[in-house]
Amino acid sequence: MKLYYSPGACSLADHIALEWIGKPYEVQRVEREERAADWFRQLNPAGAVPVFEHEGWVLTQNTAILGYLADTHPEARLWGDGTPRGRAEVMRWLGFVNSDVHPAFKPMFGATAYLGDEASIEKSKDNARAQLRTLFARADAQLDGREWIAGPRSVADPYLYVVTRWTGQAGVDVGGLDHLAVFRKRMEADPAVRKVLEVQGLD
C-alpha cells in the first residue's frame, strides 16, 4: 500500500487510517507544485491528493480510499461497530465532512479569487466562515457524550480531525465548541496520530 500526500491536506486522514490499521505501507510526499507534473497527473488527472496505490491499482477520492481501507482491514473496525446501522452512521458523518464541511473551506483556499474585487472575495470568505461555524456546531452537538463522531472510532474521525485543523488558518471561530475541542485533543493524544503528524512535519 502506498499513499501520496501533501502535508496537512485531506490526505492526512488516509495517512492516519493507515497507521491505525497497523499493516506495512509507504508514503510519498507531493508538494503543491508537483501535483501539476505529468507523472502525478498520470496517477490522478485532477492533480489532487490523496492518491492511493495497492498492488498496481490506483484509487483517488478521500472517501473511496477511507472506505476501501476499512473494507479490506475489517479487524481494524474502522466501520464502527460493524452493524448495517453502525456503518450507515459512519457514512453519514463521513459524507458530512466530505460533502458539507470540506467544500465550505474553498473560498479560504482561493476558489473565489476569480471575483477580482477584494471586497467581494472577503465577503465570500466571511460567508464561508459563518457556514463553517454552523457546521462545526453540528459536529460539536453530535460529540456530546461521545468520544468519536459516529460512536465507535471510525474512518470518519481522521477526516473530521483534518478539517478542524484548518479552522485556525482559515479564521473560523470554533470558540465554545468544547466537545469538538476535546475530540481534537483526543486525536492528538493518539500515538498513531502523533507519529503521522511528525512524518508530515506538522505541529
Closest C-alpha among 139, 186, 142, 150 to residue 66: 150
Cα–Cα distance for residue pair 193/175, rounded to 1 Å:
23
Cα–Cα distance for residue pair 131/51, rounded to 1 Å:
29
Which residues touch 158 (CB under 8 Å, ≥6 apart)?
12, 13, 14, 16, 17, 20, 66, 187, 193
* Helix/strand/coil (H/E/C) assignment for every residue in 17-46: HHHHHCCCCEEEECCHHHHHCHHHHHHCCC
Closest C-alpha among 125, 97, 98, 129 to residue 110: 125
DSSP code for 107? G
- pTM for the full model? 0.95
Q: Coil, helix or strand for 113? A: helix
Q: What is the pLDDT along the chain (203 residues), one digit of tens a residue?
A: 999 999 999 999 999 999 999 999 999 999 999 999 999 999 999 999 999 999 999 999 999 999 999 999 999 999 999 899 999 999 999 999 999 999 999 998 876 878 888 888 989 999 999 999 999 999 999 999 999 999 999 999 999 999 999 999 999 999 999 999 999 999 999 999 999 999 999 98
- The answer to whether the beta carbons of residues 52 and 2 sit under 8 Å apart is yes
- The answer to whether the beta carbons of residues 1 and 18 sit under 8 Å apart is yes
Cα–Cα distance for residue pair 156/146, rounded to 1 Å:
14
- The answer to whether the beta carbons of residues 11 and 50 sit under 8 Å apart is yes
Q: For residue 77, what is its C-alpha cell?
A: 473496525
Q: For residue 203, what is its C-alpha cell?
A: 505541529
Please give the angle made by the CA atoms of 151, 71 and 106, to the nearest 5 degrees: 70
DSSP-derived pairing of the beta strands 2-5 and 26-29: parallel
pLDDT of res. 54: 97
pLDDT of res. 118: 85
Q: For residue 8, what is its C-alpha cell?
A: 496537512
